[in-house]
A and B are shown apart, each in its own frame.
Chain A
Amino acid sequence: MQAFSQLLDSLILTPGRNAKITLLCDYFARTPDPARGWALAAITGELELKSVRPSMIRALIEERMDAELFALSYDYVGDLAETVSLVWPGTHGANYSPPLNEIIDTLLDTPKDKIPTLVSHWMDRLTPTARWAFLKLATGGLRIGVSARLAKQALAKFGSVDVTGIEEIWHGLEPPYLDLFAWLEGNADKPAPDMSGAFRPVMLAHPLIAKKDRDNPDAVDPEMITAEAFAAEWKWDGIRVQAVSENGERRLYTRTGDDISHTFPDVVEAMDFDAVLDGELLVRRKDGGVAPFNDLQKRLNRKTVSKKLLTDSPAFIRAYDILQSGETDLRALSFKERRLKLETLFAASDTHRFDVSPLIPIESAQALEALRNAPPEPEIEGVMLKRWESVYEAGRPKGPWFKWKRDPFLIDAVIMYAQRGHGRRSGKFSDFTFGVWKEVDDGFEITPVGKAYFGFTDEKLAELDKFVRANTIDRFGPVSMVKATREEGLVVEVAFEGLQASPRHKSGVAMRFPRFNRIRWDKPAAEAETLDGLKVFLSESA
């Protein structure tokens, strides 16, 4: 536990990628099996100790301190494990430090009703840093700035092998990875696990930056976009998924490899093919079109899916690509060849749970750009460009695929409320509610239309923070109310992806993905957008 908590503590404070890899390699070299394997599982998010839930930890701490003081602390720190580790009334001089595998074995062997007592017993005896590492481990989700990919790169360096060799077999391996470490240390052959139903690493696209942005080295010459070189298709506003159906195993994964099969039984039931597909998970409207993202959102993160939800919001997959057909891995073929196989697969099928994403003919880059900004359906975010010759390559390679998103909508709004951020932004106001003018009998009143958390640099954040401190007129807990009148108020340009009617919101509208584009110190508050002016976007985006 000591070595593991030191590793986590060092990783969180080490900014450089290479330095992190070195720390991980050192740890793998110094730590025996099975402890290092369990640590690897924790870091890559493969360790699931279902018996320890964050809600249980909250309950334990609230038995020990005032719930409101805990809430204020948690709000400030922004990380449950860190907050609890700091406020837990520990025993003075505590320094209990069992090996990692002992903790995990005990947790796995303890009946659920005895877990809270066991956890309290350990928490009382660990140092604050060890308490933090223990909670991170037990509740999952380390948030220490190390991705699963980085951990695999460290493994590759540790064993002097290629990282793709590890990624290939990764989803067939299980903690504590004795066979993997044996191979990496040269004591055994490469493991050959059964990969049926396993997730394949996904290929992602870079945003396309038009040549006019000359300062950007990644800018692309639009002349390059020709029908000979590229296939174009719509970028649908759903969730990118991978549907795997092989040897009787049927799985639905998110693009990060989370298994969401149980949430979409309607789709899984229709996977009567033997293939691995890449596509967009969407919800179908009654008339057969694509329903707004909101409808899909209602279906996410559910343990059980009601009949009503299945009927009201039927899900389907719009397929983009095929990675495997039967026993044959197709990833080394060109997009052109794969596309043909994809079309063949569904040519004779009459399922409404799967269809093939249509290609858009490319007449010219200009014509395509026009289509990108005025797509035929509102649930289209833009255009995808894929080189006909591109192989299916894990990661985000530069060059073969581009996403060319629709330009965001822009409005000028007035800042109304500010709230302190969490964690790394805990000292500064970083969450803002903004509003527009609503016409009332005797003039205008401000009405909130959205909230933005991101889209500014630390420097801009500091300027906003200063403004809020100087212009606060009232407070409600962590929220500050800021001066927002026709005469005095700060205008910000807000970018957003779409607008939907929403009876839940006071203004009657809800923005999708709003963020601050720039601060308009120059603009008088009275010249900000009106609610009627904003509602014009309703017809454009829905």
Chain B
Amino acid sequence: MIRPDQILKPTPAGLYCPAGDFYIDPVRAVDRAVITHGHSDHARAGHGAVLATPETINIMASRYGETFTPTRQPAELGEVNDKNGVKVWLAPAGHVLGSAQAVVEYKGLRMVCTGDYKRRQDPTCARFEPVPCHVFISEATFALPVFHHPDDRGEIARLMDSLNVFPDRAHLVGAYALGKAQRVISLIRETGYSEPIYIHGALKALCDLYEDHGVKLGPLEPATLEKGRAKEEQAKFAGKIILGPPSAFRDKWSKRFPDPLDVFCSGWMRIRQRAKQSGVELPLIISDHADWGELTQTVKDVNPEELWVTHGREDALCRWAELEGYKARPLRLVGYDDEES
């Protein structure tokens, strides 16, 4: 029988498949890459060939330019590719638009790499599907028993309550530009909020891309002030929702809004000291990653012979697996952001 590390093995550039000569989410430029989703630590520019979902390919083209790779290999979910006898296909991961798990099968042994994933329903992407396999390679961003993400609609309700309580304050919502921002906008729309939502320039292209893929985001307007009329214009943001990437809130950009109230959407907001450190007034626990309950339930659902754990809190998930009787190993891959910023 073939050994798992003959199919996929950790290397400094990322998970490598010797038989098929390709990498999954490599952290440096390689000849052939399979990309699970469009976040920049997983999807980097400069690979010779990129196999990914059509949505992920569009996201990469939007972020890095049309020439991000000479060879695009769009693959629909479930569409099987053959590389030197190694079968590769993608299964939905529920993380962001286009996100997928990479399934690799060779000589009767199947391995699944989740990339980043979550189990909950998300109006902006296809829901995660467990794929039975021999070796399951799971992410571990929130792999500690302290992480329990509450219902996202309850968290959005806290934002809407705050708009009622502070009708004069501009609500600055920090959310990652790809995925989190569009999900938060969709959730706000689900509450019946139909006013324009103001967005930072860094979100524009990705919001347009989501719209093109059929995700309705409602009226979005740029969060800019008309030159020379800054004073009068400021007033229009009072009591409004302004969305931007977290980095924008730390610079001068945020100073233009009247009496701003900082809101931040992230799974890390579960930890008070973390929320305190980021200077957030209203922390919302909304994450695109699986929480502890989802991570452990997924391992049970997939029921692999072996569990490999990567980027995040590997030790805790491995310890849990050991207690549950699974063979588990931490991969210690380097180069993936630990932060869901």
A interface, CB within 8 angstroms of B: 9, 12-15, 65-66, 68-70, 72-73, 76-79, 82-83, 86-87, 132, 145, 423-427, 469-470, 472, 475, 477-478
Contact = CB atoms under 8 A, between A and B. Distances in A.
A79 B268 CA distance: 15
Interface string B229-253: 0000000000000000000000000
B284 to A, nearest CB: 12
A12 to B, nearest CB: 5
B144 A73 contact: yes
A77 B315 contact: no
Contact of B320 (A69, A78, A478): A69
| Chain A interface main SS type | helix
Interface string B315-329: 110011001000000
Interface in B238-283: 268, 270-277, 279-281, 283
Contacts, number: 75
Contacts of B271: 76-77, 82, 423, 426
B338 interface: yes
Given A78-B273, A86-B146, A426-B271, A68 B319 contact: yes
B276 A424 contact: yes
A425 B268 CA distance: 12
Given A72-B319, A427-B338, A77 B276 contact: no
A13 B320 contact: no
Interface in B293-332: 313, 315-316, 319-320, 323, 332
Nearest to A66: B323
A77 B332 contact: no
Contacts of A423: 271, 273
Contacts of A83: 146
Which 7 A-B residue pairings sit nearest by Cβ, starting from the closest? A86-B146, A423-B273, A424-B277, A424-B273, A87-B145, A72-B316, A73-B146
B273 A86 contact: no
Interface in B76-130: none
Interface in B140-170: 144-148
Contacts of B315: 72, 477-478
B144 A426 contact: no
Contact of B316 (A9, A12, A73, A86): A73
Given A132-B272, A470-B334, 5 more contacts: A66-B323, A69-B145, A69-B320, A76-B144, A424-B277
A46 B273 CA distance: 24
B338 A13 contact: no
Contacts of B212: none
Contacts of A76: 144, 146, 271, 313
7 contacts: A9-B272, A15-B279, A76-B144, A82-B272, A424-B274, A427-B338, A470-B334
Contact of A13 (B148, B268, B280, B323): B280
Nearest to A19: B281
B339 interface: yes
Contacts of B270: 86
A77 B316 contact: no
A79 B273 contact: yes
A521 B146 CA distance: 37
A477 B313 CA distance: 10
B159 to A, nearest CB: 15
Nearest to A9: B272
A86 B291 CA distance: 13
A69 B319 contact: yes
Contacts of B320: 66, 69
Nearest to A10: B281
Contacts of A14: 281
B262 to A, nearest CB: 10
Given A66-B323, A82-B271, A424-B277, A87 B334 contact: no
B281 A66 contact: no
Contacts of A426: 271, 273-274
Contacts of B146: 73, 76-77, 82-83, 86-87
Contact of A86 (B148, B279, B334): B148
A411 B268 CA distance: 38
Given A69-B319, A477-B315, A427 B274 contact: yes
A432 B281 CA distance: 31
A164 B160 CA distance: 43
Contacts of B276: 12-13, 145, 424
A315 B281 CA distance: 48
A126 to B, nearest CB: 15
